[in-house]
Structure 1
Amino acid sequence: MARGAQRHNGSRTRARRRPRHDNDGIIPVLARVVREVESAVQRGRAQPSTRTKFQVVGLLVREERARVMGDESRPGPNRAEELKRLDGIATILATTAARDTSLLGLLADDAVVSDRARSLRRELLEAAGIEVPHEPAEPVEPPEQVQPTAAEQRRVVPRSVVSRQLANPFLPPDYSAAARQAVKPRRLVGWELIEPLLRSFEDGGAMSCMDLPHPGSTGTTGGPDLMPHQARLVAAAAAGHRTFLLADEPGLGKTAQALLAAEAADAYPLLVVVPNVVKMNWAREAALWTPNHPATVVHGDGDTIDGFADIIIVNYEVLDRHVGWLGELGLRGMVVDEAHYIKNPRSQRSQNVLHLSERIRSRRSDALLMALTGTPLINDIEDFTAIWRFLGWIDETKPVGELMLALEENGLTPADRGFSPAARAAVVDRGIVRRRKVDVAADLPARRVADVPVEIDDEAGRSIRAAEQSLARRLVAQYDRALASRPEIVTGEVDHALVRQVAARERARKTSKKSDENVFSMMRRIGQAKAGLAADYAAQLARSAGKVVLFAKHIDVMDTAEATFAKRGIRYASVRGDQSASVRQQQIDAFTHDPDVAVIVCSLTAAGVGINLQVASNIVLAELSWTDAEQTQAIDRVHRIGQDEPVTAWRIIAAQTLDSRIAELIDSKAGLAARALDGADVDIQDSSDVQLEALVTLLEDALAERVGSFAS
């Protein structure tokens, strides 16, 4: 609509105005029409004709405001009076839009102005006594859909946000800072570049961290002193750098760095998108580090938020309800915490984040965009893709902006030997910041993962081993059937490619009967069997070494552990996914501040990110994660800045079961981030997931055992 507004402004400049009195002119006409719109919306959802009136009145209010403010020949009191009358019309428009939020899209800069809207605009101007030159009709495609979509119907606009809009009603956005020329490929036109960029991080090399300036001071205006590595990132933002993939190892204070970088860049209003479990912690950190910039937390429909806050904190799960008004708020910065949550660009949460990022970048070239994650790579190097898109480094098909310019200027193509290190450096320079604890927090105590094998030798143990044997027999039967259809394979030799095919089919298979076991049900049964033993071990640690954090994946395992602690008279706190943010924070505070609360039982998914539990130095992992990254995140709730004791994670492993195989597979996957970001010379395992590898191992072991029995 901004282009349409500029075109119409030109016609208004050429229009010949007739002298009028106070009750003449465009303002009384707009006042009449806006009352019609208000009345129609009060009676029900706006019809197409009402929506057209709403859009045209909003357009003419903007035009008239710009004309009045630019008319320096008009006396000040007269101009102020007209602006006041226009504000009154804008107020009615805003309150009407709050009643039917789908109307807000008609005022967006990219909204379609239909032929009917142009015709109505002419009619209203002529009714006001303003002659409008004839303009040839331009072919404009009508909107594809008049009625709002289901997604639009779910969207809300909190009342306090409407108040913020009323305080500065319907002013056209400032696009001056976004007027930059797109970089088009010249020498690299026709080359596929995204894949080579990703692969350049698999080749290893130097530490993946851009050059950061040395700050003059590590102090802050309102909060505690920063550590040197934190202050260097803030200094980079103050110097004008505006996109960061902040991939410091967990526990190095990424939240503080993001908040202070936003302050250094004056990136307000600032949107912070976070997992639900850390919303309240972000609000606390904002009050600590940037007390002069109020923060508000969005719960549900946002009825309790402060619409005038500088920092808006929202969780991924409710972001879809607020995408509309957030896109129109004039955001100057956006932080995505635990950015690996958006690794799948096709998911709804990722699309919401990418939409808002694109909206911000289309309006401001100096917007601050930060992706925060200590584990940017979970399974594959492709996990980088959505994060790079959020930061505006690439689009769906190619590098863009400064990254494309850097690739053009280095004189290399993907066919050249030196392309990979040069491409990696070009991406890193766009804003990858990665620091390891061992390098920047030398005084942080050591951490280690220690496996505690346990024997499950009761009825549960016998049942688990029987179920594992049943699963192995089913895999072997599937393998034999597949092998029989391929006579070219020499009998007696294990076809490893076929093994992987059988395992992949089993991985994707849904059980048809309750008695059927799969890798997920097996691991859950093992977790249930280990629950009491893990709780016993945690209880011993609590009595001998102080506070303990116990992590589990499943609710029934948490229930068993808590029942064990209650039976032993050990006070505990609990963090679960179904708790409200306030209840969760109360449980964390109880564990942190109450010396009598010895154990906190945490859901691996609900408490594995974004919380600080460094009051403890011992962790019990009652169940295994499926990824090394998830395990690392959990451990780093304790091993972080503020910890002054060595940290040990005690991993409870059920001996002689699938549990021990999966523990080995998780450890073997740990090299991906080390090679891609830290320059470590370690092998990256196949990108297939751990579940698949566990099934491959189970089948190959069963086949090897069968071959051995034949041989004997």
Structure 2
Amino acid sequence: MNLKDAYILGLSIDGEKMQFFFPYSERNVNLVKTIYSRVFNKGLKCWDFPINPQIYADILMKFPQTILDHNLKNRIRSIATAYDQVNEMKLAGWENTTPNAPMLLKTENLHNNKPYNHQILAFNVAIQLPHFACLMEQGCGKSLVMVALVGHWFHLGEVKRVLIFCPSAVIPVWPREFGDYAKYPVNVFALTESVAERESLLYSLCHSGLIEQNIVTTVVTNYEVSWRMEDALKEFKPDMVICDESQRIKKGSTEQAKAIYRISANAKHRAICSGTPIEKPVDYFGQYRFLDPNILGYYFTNFRNRYAHVVGEHDIIVGYKNLDELTKKVHQIAFRVTKKDALPDMPEKVDQILYFELEEEARKIYDQMEAESIAEIAGYETITANNILAKMVRLSQLTGGFFNANKLAGTDDDETRPNVIKQISKAKLKLLDETVNDLTEQNHKVVIFTRFTAEFLAICELMSKNKIKFVSMNGSTPALLKKSNVDQFQNDKGTMILVANIRCAGLGITLHAAHYAIFYSFGYSLIDYEQAKDRLHRIGQHDLCTYIHLVAQHTIDVKIVRALQNKREIAKEVVDDWRQYFEDEVA
């Protein structure tokens, strides 16, 4: 029987869409218009729908005489079964969970030589689904779940080419994550060069024969270049596409979102990672349009009409409706955990590093200053900690965007030269801006620790420019004002940011209204560093504390953060091993 016959009710499958045919009548047309996410197919004179069990059931309820395609019935049954299994696993919880398939991870690099239980449950959920939303809050270990998931699909022979979109600052993180945790063969190519250079590398990679070997080839790039190098990314033909910090594509109408939809259309598996994917319910659409259009549909107009109240000729959204239904749909293919939920399963503090590159001119000045410092220290008859720390301070100040133009190599002890502070880089400030916006959009208070006066003032100026309510304190802040600012930050819900000098905020105050801190720059004292962190992590803190470090690649930042996290006293080791802090280091 031909289900496309104009005189019968027929529901068939065509690729990733259901097609509904029926005899024309005003009643039938009006009835089908009550079904979510419909689009009229003018060529075939039928109605297209996403392949979704709820929509399928709605069609059969309203048109009970519909004749069904056998392949469609099997597809719907398979999807419904997976949803049921996922729901049962989530209801059972993670307390006693074990992996349902091998997690190909290097256990020696894991806490207690195993993933956390909530990560195991996230993995178990993910392998039941072709596409997966990892909505674990920042600091809960989303990337490890993704590394394990890539390994699972590779082990089953379904994935060899992986494409990861992420913010620029996160690109260097992924090679480390795969290197630290992947217990399977993988090559990771982090694309940070010009668009032309990235395209050249991709084309060479596609024709090298490397991706035909029994190895995972992973390409990592930022969202902003997706539409500019769409052809090259399409030629890579990814089997799996991951959007990390997927809120970057919440607006599906942008050029980069549309390009990513096209690039990933033929991928067998897709995943999104985001700690808080929505500010407004409509923010789900763009992310799920990438992830699995069968969940929320292909067209924003249908989605908006179903879940939003609109007014006026420009369809301004003034409220929302059917949110219980929306939440249920979204979480059918998602795993969500907050730090508070995971706290019994996790350490109480989490360190995170966000990397960035200095601009070309700033890079040249940094490299010159570093080379001059090395030559000068090597020429000292007697090397002291103070000599070395003075050179390190100049480099640290520069990675934050500023340097003293009258304090060049060889002039540190010249007190006759006035301070002339110049801004030569905005890269770290830009990364701070993005990070603060992400956190405050999620209604998180944030403490920003900084070391140098110039960057302290620049950060305060940035908060004012962005109209973010903030308070600040440094060494010149009077004691009464300092107390007032702390009280305001702790008690006023609208005050989202505290900008503080590391030493000034390191003792005698409580800042547990925040559980996020950003280290814009770093001192060299382990005691100061630990005390600053403990301003948030103290009695009264009920959430896992996340400390975000902004680090310039190939600079002294990398060495300082590593030393502090390894609890090394920098001032005590620089004399005997000073070169480790100056010689180039890949982040």
TM-score, normalised to structure 1's length?
A: 0.36
Q: Quick check: which has more Rg, 1 or 2?
A: 1
Identify the structure with the greater helix proportion. 1
TM-score, normalised to structure 2's length?
A: 0.43
The higher relative CO (CA closer than 8 Å, separation ≥ 6) is in 1
